Amino acid sequence: MPVHREGILLALIAAALWGLTPVATKGALDGFTPQFLSFIRLAAAALLFRVMGGRDVRFFVNDRWIWLAGAGLGADFLLYNYGVQRTAANVAGLVINIELLTTIAFAVWILGERLNLRRVMGGLITVAGVLTVSLDDLSVADVTRQDRVLGNVLVMLAGISWSLFAVAQRRADVDDGLFHRLTPIFSIAALITAPAMLQKSAWTTHFSASSVGMFIVLTVFGTGIVYWVYGRAQQLADVSLLSIVLCTIPIFAVAFAYVFLHEPVTPQLILGGTVILAGILLIATERPRPSLSNAECPMSNQLDQTTKLPSQAGQ
């Protein structure tokens, strides 16, 4: 699949929407619990994709990669919410960036994508920018504090789980359309998070116009629309390339926090944003090339033969 500038543009739009997510989440958590937000976001997105896709779209399909993608997405939502509860938000924003490395690793291993010198250099520059942004007003002690170790580990596991979702989604053998792919993935993810709703504390609510409004924004824009945009971007560009482009999320997060929460923008944040954009520009100007087919990727074929996940009938 050729690298498309349209795919990069869509990835930037997805990054902007995900940059809005922390602001919306902060407002929604004033009225709803993390467990409630996770399950409802996933279930509502599954229902939305089902309606948009039409009658022939199913909530569950018998495809091992769809199940793996759904499990990864559901685990990401749960691990991240529980992890953030046990660490600081700015520390979580730093350690979650492990997903850049794990997404690239999974894409090379499972999809057979190759990294050229331009992508490696662009990735390194982008990572430097991300660290510059993430380390603003953050010390080593903030990351290594004993009471935050578990939370940091959970957030990193969430990043790895999301990487698995991103790569497995591309690997799924569903050719009918994007909604046919997203609907079962989000249905399975909702199924994964459903047990958390058995806790009485999950149903604790404090309704207000602001929290309900942010809940709607989070569910519609921060879940349904953004994952559709990202899924479309996957059809146009390599997963490893998209993972680098998504490093612009901190830039948008800072911008939205400044506009809606009146949080300050420091010179370090501006410098980090500039470096990130430089890395994105470097990889965005590379020439398109065809990716490897399944026949050229022995690991993909091996995984197809050995990976077994429960079918729809087994649930």
Q: Is residue 154 part of a domain?
A: yes
Task: Please tell me the predicted confidence (pLDDT) of residue 133.
Answer: 67
Task: Please tell me the predicted confidence (pLDDT) of residue 308.
Answer: 35
Q: Is residue 103 part of a domain?
A: yes
Identify whether the C-beta of residue 238 lies closer than 8 Å to the C-beta of residue 113.
yes
In the predicted structure, residue 13 carries a pLDDT above the cut 80: yes
Number of domains in the chain: 1
Task: Please tell me the predicted confidence (pLDDT) of residue 89.
Answer: 66
Q: How confident is the model at residue 286 (pLDDT cuts 50, 70, 90)?
A: low
In the predicted structure, residue 310 carries a pLDDT above the cut 90: no
134-167 confidence digits (pLDDT tens) = 666 666 666 667 767 788 788 889 989 999 999 9
28-85 confidence digits (pLDDT tens) = 878 888 889 889 999 999 999 999 988 888 999 888 999 999 999 999 988 887 787 7
211-225 confidence digits (pLDDT tens) = 899 899 889 998 999
The pLDDT mean for the chain works out to 79
Q: How confident is the model at residue 189 (pLDDT cuts 50, 70, 90)?
A: very high
Considering only residues 244 and 215, tell me which one the structure prediction assigns the higher pLDDT.
215
Mean pLDDT of 291-304: 42
Mean pLDDT of 239-263: 78
Range of the domain at 26: 5-305
In the predicted structure, residue 236 carries a pLDDT above the cut 70: yes
Q: How confident is the model at residue 291 (pLDDT cuts 50, 70, 90)?
A: very low
Considering only residues 7 and 48, tell me which one the structure prediction assigns the higher pLDDT.
48
Q: Is residue 310 part of a domain?
A: no
Q: Is residue 311 part of a domain?
A: no
Q: Is residue 93 part of a domain?
A: yes
Q: How confident is the model at residue 88 (pLDDT cuts 50, 70, 90)?
A: low
pTM of the complete model: 0.78
Q: Is residue 230 part of a domain?
A: yes
Q: What percent of the chain has pLDDT over 70?
A: 80
97-127 confidence digits (pLDDT tens) = 788 888 888 988 888 888 777 778 877 887 7
Q: Is residue 177 part of a domain?
A: yes
Q: Is residue 269 part of a domain?
A: yes
